[in-house]
Amino acid sequence: MIKVNENFLKIKNNYLFSDIAKRVNAFSSENQDKKIIRLGIGDVTRPLSPTIITSLHEAVDEMSKIDTFKGYGPELGYDFLIEKIIDNEFRPRGIELDKDEVFISDGSKSDTGNIGDILGVDNRVAITDPVYPVYLDTNIMAGRENITYLPCNKENNFVPALPKEKVDMIYLCLPNNPTGTVLTKEQLKVWVDYAKENKSLILFDAAYEAFITEENIPHSIYEIDGAKEVAIEFRSFSKKAGFTGTRCAYTVIPKELKGYTTNGEAVSINKLWNRRHSTKFNGVPYIVQKAAESVYTDSGKKEVADIISYYMENAKLIKAGLGEVGIETFGGINAPYIWLKTPNNLPSWDFFDILLNKLNIVGTPGVGFGQNGEGYFRLTAFGSRDNTIEAMERFKKLSL
């Protein structure tokens, strides 16, 4: 008799985005004359940049000719892309990596979800609250039941405190989704030191590092001394280069990083992931890897930086606009997310309904990311400039 993995039955259904969709659909079907502005979902809206488009066309042409056609590529990624990543993302920050420490993948969601394959089920897992739901759900699927929540709220400036109990796996998303929080090198060093002392593993999700604008904010956890011994870093082209629908990311696993057997024997995590990735994955499309490579040309770099500036100008407008009407905001300086405290301590969903019904603006209720998100709300900078400006005009009419 075929048995299922019963851990899947323990996952709570998260209806956040489907609940949002239901309420928005109900409203818009009754108010077809109203123009709804969507600042809810964290998805890019600007098209792929000209350099990336050119590179895609060229790669497609290669696939059309027998001499340049590409079949199976290396499962772990083409060297041409890995070299560009090391040269552009890490070496300028003083971080040296070998090519076999960078694994190309189809997305950070896949990698942060699949990384648990190579880790023991009895590890204790620390996640922040609020949090990107994939971290929690994938651990429950794997049967990890010991979860330590690290509250992040206005009182601690959204910086998680070290856990009181010893934890083995620590998910840190920095710049943070949903709160937009970043840590300084000194603040991040606290976590690296904790991990070294406790032989813990930090799962560092840096999907939004390209949005950092301030100095002294580390873009990579490996800017912290000793981090190579304790951290895996997840990076993505999704938000950096508008690849949410094009799919390319990478994960860094230094060879210094060790895990342990129950007997305390040290094992290379890099080797385990190499085995996992080459057995259960068959590489990212050649044309997509060529497109990702083009992000590191001179024109590519300029174009993606311009698009990020465009979004971050939206973020500034949102922060200023909300400030004018007396709403307290967080994030939005080094991240495309503005996390706001609801006026009058309104529950997140009540504020959602007010925005939808009175201002015809859609955002994301903070409580959808965890109970410490209650009374908070997330707006994104990924809208168009016009819509962002109009949304802020509408906020001026908000009366509670």
Q: Which of 23, 70, 185, 301 binds a second copy (CB under 8 A)?
A: 70
Q: Which of 23, 36, 46, 325 binds a second copy (CB under 8 A)?
A: 46
Which residues in the 94-153 window bind a second copy by CB under 8 A? 106-107, 109-110, 113-114, 117-123, 134, 137-138, 141
Q: How far apart are CA 357 and CA 379, in angstroms?
A: 16
For position 386 contacting a second copy by CB under 8 A, the verdict is: no
Task: Find where tokens 């990076």 sit.
Answer: 235
Record the tokens describing residue 215, joined without a space: 């100095």
Min CB(368)–a second copy separation in Å:
15
Record the tokens describing residue 56, joined without a space: 């895609």
User: CB under 8 A: which stretch of 8-16, 216-224, 297-305, 321-329 binds a second copy?
Assistant: 8-16
Antiparallel, parallel or unpaired: β 147-151 and 125-129 = parallel
Inter-residue contact 192 to 202 (CB < 8 Å) = yes
DSSP 8-state code for residue 103: E
Q: Which of 157, 279, 345, 371 binds a second copy (CB under 8 A)?
A: 279
Q: What angle do CA 382, 355, 30 make, to 5 degrees?
A: 105
Smaller CB separation from a second copy, 141 or 159: 141
Which residues in the 258-277 window bind a second copy by CB under 8 A? 259-262, 264, 267, 269, 272, 275-276
For position 283 contacting a second copy by CB under 8 A, the verdict is: yes
Number of residues that bind a second copy (CB under 8 A): 79
User: CB under 8 A: which stretch of 61-69, 307-315, 343-351, 365-373 binds a second copy?
Assistant: 61-69
Whole-number CA gyration radius for the chain = 22
DSSP 8-state code for residue 352: H
Min CB(183)–a second copy separation in Å:
21
What is the x/- site pattern for a second copy, positions 175-214, by CB under 8 A?
-----------------------xxxx-------------
Q: How far is CA 358 from CA 222, 229, 351, 374, in A?
A: 46, 52, 10, 21
Task: Find where tokens 């060093």 sit.
Answer: 189
